[in-house]
Chain A
Amino acid sequence: MSSLVRRGPTPDMLLLDPRGVPVSFRLSRSAVLLTVVAAMAAVAVATASLTLGVYPISVSDAIGIVGGGGSLIERDVVLGDRLPRALTGLGVGAAFALSGAILQRIAANPLVSPDVIGINSGAAMGALTVLLVVGGGGLQLVTGALAGALLAAVMIVLIAYRRGLHGFRLVLVGIGVAAMLSSAISYLLTRSDIHRAMSAAAWLTGSLANRSSLHVTIIALALAVTVPALVVGSRHLRLLELGDDLTRTLTGAGQGRKVALLLLAVVLAAMATAAAGPIGFVALVAPQITRRLLAERQVGLAPSAAVGALLVVGADLAGRLIFAPSEMPVGVLTAILGAPALLYLLARAHRIGAAG
Chain B
Amino acid sequence: MAATAPERPSDVPSAPARAVVAGSGLLRGGWTRMLGLAVAVALLVAVTLGSVLLGTLPVGLSDVVGALTGPPDSDVERAVRYIRIPRTATGLLAGTALGVAGAVMQGLTRNPLAGPGVLGVNAGAALAVVLAMVGLGITTAAGYVWFAFAGAAVAAVFVYLLGSLGLGGATPVKLALAGSAFTALLGAITTMITLRDASTMDDFRYWVVGSLTRSDGEALTAVAPLIAVGVVVAAGLTRALNALALGDDLARSLGTRLWIDRTVGALAVVLLAGGATAIAGPIGFIGLVVPHVARMVAGPDYRWVLAWTAVLAPTLLLVADVLGRVLVRPEQLQVGIITGLAGAPFFLYLVRNRKVVGT
Contacts and interface: CB of A to CB of B under 8 A. Distances in A.
A347 B170 CA distance: 10
Contacts of A171: 173, 176-177
B351 A197 contact: no
A96 interface: no
B174 A179 contact: no
B189 A332 contact: yes
A348 B284 contact: no
Given A194-B201, A347-B165, A172 B173 contact: yes
Nearest to B162: A343
B182 interface: yes
Contact of A332 (B171, B188, B206): B188
A201 B191 contact: yes
B357 A343 contact: no
Contacts of A176: 344-345, 347-348, 351
- Interface majority SS on A: helix, strand, loop or mixed? helix
Interface string B11-29: 1010000000000000000
A179 B340 contact: yes
B286 to A, nearest CB: 13
Contacts of B171: 352
Nearest to B174: A346
Contacts of A163: 9, 11
Interface string A191-229: 000110110011011000000000000000000000000
A230 interface: no
Interface in A150-183: 159-160, 162-164, 166, 168-169, 171-173, 175-180, 182-183
A346 B163 contact: yes
A279 B173 CA distance: 23
B185 A350 contact: no
A114 interface: no
B359 interface: yes
A347 B351 contact: no
Contacts, number: 169
A116 interface: yes
B189 A336 contact: yes
B12 to A, nearest CB: 9
A164 B359 contact: no
Contacts of B345: 176, 180
B354 to A, nearest CB: 11
Contacts of B2: none
A144 interface: no
Contact of A351 (B187, B192, B336, B359): B359
Nearest to A245: B9
The residue in B113, B172, B188 that gathers the most chain A C-beta atoms within 10 A of its C-beta is B188
Contacts of A187: 209, 333-334, 337
Contacts of B352: 159-160, 162, 169, 173
Interface string B163-205: 1011110011110111011101101110110110010011001
Contacts of B285: 179
Interface string B199-227: 00110011011000000000000000000
A354 B359 CA distance: 8
Given A179-B285, A184-B337, A349-B174, 11 more contacts: A159-B348, A168-B13, A172-B172, A172-B351, A176-B351, A186-B208, A197-B201, A197-B202, A201-B191, A201-B205, A346-B162
5 contacts: A160-B352, A179-B340, A190-B209, A339-B188, A349-B174
